[in-house]
């Protein structure tokens, strides 16, 4: 994994894109020593998106199980409780 300053990234953008896309090497871009962004292969981004979807689905299923076990209030009841 490479660490580049923003000025290095700007000067070598085309080479960095090729390194990430074809060499599958992640790059981190920093400014004044602080890491700002990561440039990663598109396959890794797609994997991360699928993983986030999996986590969201898992959380939604757990919430649904809680509702099924404990019941739920109607929307009208919630609005009344909130004074809407």
Question: What Cα–Cα distance (Å) separates residue 44 from each residue in 13, 17, 30, 41, 53?
Answer: 19, 14, 20, 5, 14
pTM of the model as a whole: 0.69
Average pLDDT on 11-36 reads 96
Q: Which architecture characterizes domain 2-40 according to CATH?
A: 3-Layer(aba) Sandwich (3.40)
Return phi, psi of residue 3, to 5°.
-125, 120
Q: 29-42, pLDDT tens digit by residue?
A: 999 999 999 999 99
The fraction of the chain above a pLDDT of 70, given in percent, is: 100
């Amino acid at each position: 994994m490479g660490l580049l300053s923003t000025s290095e990234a700007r000067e070598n953008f085309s080479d960095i894109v090729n390194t990430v896309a074809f060499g599958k090497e992640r790059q981190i871009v920093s400014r004044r020593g602080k890491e700002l962004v990561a440039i990663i292969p598109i396959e890794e981004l797609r994997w991360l998106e699928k993983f986030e979807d999996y986590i969201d689905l898992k959380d939604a299923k757990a919430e649904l199980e809680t509702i099924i076990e404990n019941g739920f209030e109607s929307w009208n009841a919630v609005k009344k409780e909130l004074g809407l």
